[in-house]
Amino acid sequence: MARIGIMSFAHMHAYSYAACLDELVEAELIAIWDDNHSRGKKAAKQFNTAFVAELDKFLALDMQGVIVTSENVRHREMVEAAAAAGKWVLCEKPLAPTVADAKAVIAACRHAKVGLGTAFPVRYSIPMMAVRQMLKSGEYGEIYAASCTNNGQFPGGWFAKQALSGGGATMDHTVHAVDALRWMTGREITHVYSENGNLLRHGIDTDDVGSLHLEMEGGIQVSHVASWNRPKSFPTWGDVTFEIVCEKGVIRVDAFNQKISVYNDDAVRAEWAYWGGNPDLGLIQDFVAAVDERREPTVTGVDGLRAVEVTVAAYKSAAAGKMVRI
Amino acid sequence: MRVAIIGCGTMGHLHASMAASCGLRIIACGDKYKHSAKVLAEQYSAAASDDSMAVIADPEVDIVAICSPTPTHAGYAIAAAEAGKSIFCEKPFARTVQQCRDAMSAARKAKVKLFVAHVVRYFQEFEAMRAQLAAGKVGKPGFVKLYRGGLFPMGADGWFRDYEESGGVTLDSMIHDIDWLRYTFGDAERVFCQALRRSEPEAIDYSTATFRMKSGVIAKVIGTWAQPGGFRVETEICGDKGMIQFNSDETPIFTMKRTAPGETPSTIVPASPVPKSPYQLEWEEFIAWVRGTRQPRVTARDATEAVRMALAALESAETGKPVKL
């Protein structure tokens, strides 16, 4: 039985991870720590676990792993504290808003000899896994180009505050695509061009749209859209899509397009109720197994760093108005 | 009014039928391949010739419809202008911006009307999107995504496969969306583009461009000639209070023919019939202009700008740098 704690419920994914821990018989959510006490207490009540207000006491608990779901800029201090306490860490993406912080997080875990994982649940999406298999099988030949999207509704709150998030939609929604591309092709990203802006949501100090162009090893050309462009009235939270152009054909995947349409007169919008597999569950299951087996999680801190490098380069490119080499 | 069709491939056939359904007479067909000219000419009891310049010079001809490969457009347009004909030219207007300007100045000098067929401006779904935008349904637009494409087209001699000739998907197909983008969101500031332009082992082109508009709007335009089949258009316009989407996969009709056992099953064929084809609408607008003074919604200058933007995208794809417009 892996004993797991959650540090901060600032990121809404914490609720999904907690629910996954609940679902897994091999794991137990031991306690929650949150600098926002009322949020932490509420979550502890919701998931029927303990709330510990002091970080020292929380990290002194008998547990082997923690999930860090704080604001982006606080990942580093929390992972460092958890690692120093000998806990295995699963860190929400992006691993950090800067390359320096991402590297520090990796170094801290290496130094403490604890496993570090980055939360890229897209790797556990069944349709995405199927597409990766198709590409690996060689049936589609060489990969030439791709265009992907990670669109979402506006998350608001700290996500759109530069001082807490380190960046807007490009920061939030580039890393999943980058990680999935690396995972599916086995190639690294070498160059980035990006245009971004605050064009859709008012009163925020981050970008809410990014249009990226990536070049990968072997000359694979990639277009990506990272955005908070889905309106409140949109029937779901957003999407993760890829069109992959290969020598012998084209693969299109809309990872969450397993849905039923729901029309309810009490709601302000129609709703797409998702019925596919839960990628978060696979992610948490792997982390729990890693904790249990004292191994690195499958999606590592270095994977997180690679995605951070591309995101940071995207902001550099947008500011400089030219393509940036990674 | 009597029409000559120059270039008797797919678009020549289409425009002949549109001109005819507008009540015009097709009297001559020109194509460097006499056989192609004949096949089309027979349908309209028209004359066929492999000398397109002679067809253009024919005093019986009032309207010259240019449907030949892109690099030949300007030469035919200039000849038609000098012969005093009204000109209907398939997009892209020409292969270079200079050719566009030469054709425009020839038309101006000869005081003839020169129309470039940017048909997407006449598509009902694109008009519907403009109407919703104008009604403020998305609020202030900030992001646009336009996707178009399918099979790599053949064309006589496979001329589309010669990227020097056709400009690939970027100049030939993406130009539809580029024109509509400028029509709807104004001029662009700069463009960055990646374009595949492969010839081996097979012709595959896939082009993705980001246009930064002067208004600040970011537009991602994707053109594909990479699919083994089918054709799809997808659009998305996002604003500060809403979004508009269109997907051509959602059609009122799908058909699939039963085939004999052992035969390859037929593919699903979608259809979306409308009261009037957008191609006919553009012909009607062109004819109204030829007969009167009402300017069509797309001008030769617009078409020149679209060529300029598409060529800038190709320049960016070549250099790996954004190109200022």
* Per-residue pLDDT reduced to its tens digit, A269-307: 888 989 999 999 999 999 999 999 999 999 999 999 999
Nearest CA in chain A to B217: A199
Decide: B282 and B119 in contact? Cβ < 8 Å.
yes
Closest to B272 (Cα-Cα) out of B223, B233, B244: B233
The pLDDT value recorded for residue B293 is 85
Neighbour count for residue B315 (Cβ, 10 Å)? 14
DSSP notation for A139-202: TT-SEEEEEEEEEEE---GGGG-HHHHSSSHHHHHHHHHHHHHHHHH---EEEEEEEEE--SSS
Q: How far apart are CA A139 and CA A247, in angstroms?
A: 9
Closest to A212 (Cα-Cα) out of A189, A231, A244, A246: A189
The pLDDT value recorded for residue B231 is 93
Mean pLDDT of chain A: 97
One pLDDT digit (tens) per residue for chain A, 326 residues = 899 999 999 999 999 999 999 999 999 999 999 999 999 999 999 999 999 999 999 999 999 999 999 999 999 999 999 999 999 999 999 999 999 999 999 999 999 999 999 999 999 999 999 999 999 999 999 999 999 999 999 999 999 999 999 999 999 999 999 999 999 999 999 999 999 999 999 999 999 999 999 999 999 999 999 999 999 999 999 999 999 999 999 999 999 999 999 999 988 888 898 999 999 999 999 999 999 999 999 999 999 999 999 999 999 999 999 999 99
Q: Do B241 and A144 touch (CB under 8 A)?
A: no
Domain that holds residue A88: 2-120+280-300
Q: Do A323 and B321 touch (CB under 8 A)?
A: yes
Alpha-carbon distance B69 to nearest alpha carbon in chain A (angstroms): 27
Least confident of A166-170, A290-294, B268-272, B307-311: B268-272
Q: How far apart are CA A182 and CA A187, in angstroms?
A: 5
Task: Place B156 in a pLDDT band, splitting at 50, 70 and 90.
Answer: confident
Residues of chain B contacting residue A145, judged by C-beta atoms under 8 Å apart: 194, 196, 206, 208, 226
Closest to A299 (Cα-Cα) out of A312, A281, A285, A287: A287
Chain A residues with CB within 8 Å of chain B CB: 144-145, 147, 191, 193, 195-197, 199-202, 208-209, 211, 213, 215, 221-223, 225, 227, 229-231, 233-234, 243, 245, 247, 249-250, 321-323
The pLDDT value recorded for residue A115 is 98
Alpha-carbon distance B235 to nearest alpha carbon in chain A (angstroms): 13
CATH number at residue A321: 3.30.360.10
Beta strands in A231-319 (DSSP E): 238-246, 249-254, 259-262, 271-274
Length of chain A: 326
**Residues A153 and A271 reside in one and the same domain:** yes
**Residues A286 and A320 reside in one and the same domain:** no
Neighbour count for residue A281 (Cβ, 10 Å)? 18
Count of structural domains within chain A = 2
At B144, give phi and psi (nearest 5°).
-130, 140
Q: Does B39 have pLDDT greater than 80?
A: yes
Nearest CA in chain A to B215: A199
Nearest CA in chain A to B204: A247
Nearest CB to B206 within list A145, A202, A230: A145
Closest to A274 (Cα-Cα) out of A255, A298, A253, A246: A255
Closest to A174 (Cα-Cα) out of A11, A12, A322, A307: A307
The continuous run of DSSP H or E covering A210 comes out as strand A209-216
Q: Does B241 touch chain A (CB under 8 A)?
A: yes
**Residues A171 and A257 reside in one and the same domain:** yes
Nearest CB to A200 within list B212, B222, B239: B239
> Structural domain boundaries of chain B?
2-117, 120-275+296-324
The pLDDT value recorded for residue A175 is 97
Q: Does B291 have pLDDT greater than 90?
A: yes
> Crossing angle of helices B174-185/B124-134, nearest 10°?
20
Closest to A8 (Cα-Cα) out of A29, A30, A39: A39
ipTM of the complex: 0.93
Mean pLDDT of chain B: 96
Decide: B283 and B15 in contact? Cβ < 8 Å.
yes
Least confident of B78-87, B89-98, B269-278: B269-278
Best mutation target, B210, B215, B314, B323, to test chain A (most A CBs within 10 A)? B210
Decide: A179 and A188 in contact? Cβ < 8 Å.
no
The CATH fold of domain B2-117: Rossmann fold (3.40.50)
Nearest CA in chain B to A143: B196
**Residues A180 and A321 reside in one and the same domain:** yes
Closest to B91 (Cα-Cα) out of B67, B58, B126, B127: B67
The pLDDT value recorded for residue B195 is 98
**Residues A181 and A92 reside in one and the same domain:** no
Mean pLDDT within B195-221: 96
Q: Which one is predicted more confidently, B272 or B18?
A: B18
**Residues A137 and A98 reside in one and the same domain:** no
Q: Does B281 have pLDDT greater than 90?
A: yes
Mean pLDDT within B226-240: 95
Q: Does B227 have pLDDT greater than 80?
A: yes
Nearest CB to A231 within list B195, B222, B241: B241
Decide: B216 and B112 in contact? Cβ < 8 Å.
no
Nearest CA in chain A to B322: A322
Residues of chain B contacting residue A196, judged by C-beta atoms under 8 Å apart: 218
Q: Do B243 and A229 touch (CB under 8 A)?
A: yes
**Residues A12 and A145 reside in one and the same domain:** no
CATH number at residue A30: 3.40.50.720
Decide: B103 and B128 in contact? Cβ < 8 Å.
no
**Residues A129 and A92 reside in one and the same domain:** no
The pLDDT value recorded for residue A269 is 87
Mean pLDDT within B284-292: 97
**Residues A91 and A50 reside in one and the same domain:** yes
> Crossing angle of helices B97-110/B73-82, nearest 10°?
10
Task: Place B20 in a pLDDT band, splitting at 50, 70 and 90.
Answer: very high
Q: Does B11 touch chain A (CB under 8 A)?
A: no
Best mutation target, A144, A229, A244, to test chain B (most B CBs within 10 A)? A229
The pLDDT value recorded for residue A214 is 98
Q: Does B256 have pLDDT greater than 90?
A: no
Mean pLDDT within B291-303: 96
Nearest CA in chain B to A214: B194
Nearest CB to B142 within list A209, A243, A250: A209
Residues of chain A contacting residue B201, judged by C-beta atoms under 8 Å apart: 247
Residues of chain B contacting residue A223, judged by C-beta atoms under 8 Å apart: 194, 208, 210, 220, 222
Q: Does B38 have pLDDT greater than 90?
A: yes
Residues of chain A contacting residue B321, judged by C-beta atoms under 8 Å apart: 322-323
CB < 8 Å from A in window 42-71 of B:
none
Nearest CA in chain A to B150: A250
Alpha-carbon distance B321 to nearest alpha carbon in chain A (angstroms): 6
**Residues A128 and A242 reside in one and the same domain:** yes
Q: Does B322 touch chain A (CB under 8 A)?
A: yes
* Domain B2-117 shares a fold with domain B120-275+296-324: no
Q: Does B259 have pLDDT greater than 90?
A: no
Q: Does B266 have pLDDT greater than 80?
A: no
The superfamily CATH assigns to domain B120-275+296-324 is: Dihydrodipicolinate Reductase; domain 2 (3.30.360.10)
Q: Does B92 have pLDDT greater than 90?
A: yes
Q: Which one is predicted more confidently, B302 or B254?
A: B302
**Residues A93 and A137 reside in one and the same domain:** no
**Residues A172 and A266 reside in one and the same domain:** yes
Closest to A207 (Cα-Cα) out of A219, A223, A222, A196: A196
Q: How far apart are CA B158 and CA A229, in angstroms?
A: 40
Q: Do A193 and B192 touch (CB under 8 A)?
A: yes
Best mutation target, A208, A221, A324, to test chain B (most B CBs within 10 A)? A221
